[in-house]
Amino acid sequence: MAATRRSALSAAAAILLFSLGCSTDKPSFTEAADANPPSTQNALDVSVSLAPEVRGAESVIAHVTVINRSTSTVDVPESQLPSEDLETQQFVVLRDGERVNYEGPHIKRGPSIGDAIISIAPGAAYSYDIELSRAYDLSRDGRYSVVFESRDSRAQTVLRSARQEVRLYGRAALATSGIADRTLSALTSQITYARCTTTQQTAVRAALAQAETYAINSRSYMAANNLADRYTWWFGAVTTANASRVLANFTAIADAFATKPIKVDCGCKKTYFAYVYANQPYTIYVCKAFWSAPLAGTDSRGGTLVHEMSHFTVVAGTGDFAYGQSAARNLALTNVSQAIANADNHEYFAENTPARQ
């Protein structure tokens, strides 16, 4: 992924505090529910600009600017600001009114990993040049509309820009960048590795075995059709349609671990757990937090692989609407349709820690 380039248009410098628990005299960045542009947060204003038209295979660049319009410094988790690395789905992109596919990475971050805090001084502005064509399907001609929209760990909208439009002509098929080696083994049930030491390969094999056990047990629970607290805690009220979808998801996840050519890349140096590209099965990139996680239990190595396997479009096609047990539980209470489609809800159901019946 491209290196992040962030320019401060004010003399005030960004102060990075590497703990969400840091105390500060400055006002905290509050969550906002108002969905009306130009921004959902009174202090910060976010705007997007695009070239009016792009021809041929030229990259589509979104110029995003975040300005602190208030008279006080505002602290913002870095993950809620634009990312030139395209580490998450931060844009709503429509082609002729239809939402286009996001083809960038799906990352398991985990609530225990501190998010860097950016302190934005009064009047300070930060600009980002983000190549949308690296992570969104812009392969067809048409009129596209683009909105920047970042969310917090509970899937609440934090920052939202006004809509901007661009007309694309003569497009070629999108090739998602950032992956050097995408070749998978032709042999089913065979694990291949990239940039993994012998010790890491041993740990990955154990994690894959644990993940398969989790998936099989989850499938068996769902197939028994005796859905109790364990189901409702993570997926909300029981309906036939929703239960059928969750069963189908775990059936597909278990089958993938048992029969598909899985490739694990250990070269990621980021602080989060792991990530995948949903349209590039079955390659899983494991990162720093993966190695320090327990084999089983909450936010474990086995559970992380269930989370990532569920993201693949050919498996369960889950998204990342919320991270962490608290936020996942909240989805089950407030937005069942997102809970049954959220990767962390599948992981926590599979890990079943603490155990529920």
- 77 - beta bridge partners? 117
Task: Assess whether 308 carries a catalytic annotation.
Answer: yes
Residue of 87, 212, 308, 347 marked catalytic: 308
DSSP string covering 196-216, please?
A: --HHHHHHHHHHHHHHHHHHH
Distance of alpha carbon 211 from alpha carbon 254, whole angstroms: 8
Q: Which amino acid, one-letter code, is at 84?
A: E
Distance of alpha carbon 82 from alpha carbon 80, whole angstroms: 7
Distance of alpha carbon 17 from alpha carbon 279, whole angstroms: 35
User: What is the number of other CB atoms lying within 10 angstroms of the CB of residue 326?
Assistant: 11
Q: DSSP state, 123?
A: T
Q: Which amino acid, one-letter code, is at 321?
A: F
Three-class SS state of 330: helix
Q: Which of the residues are catalytic?
A: 308
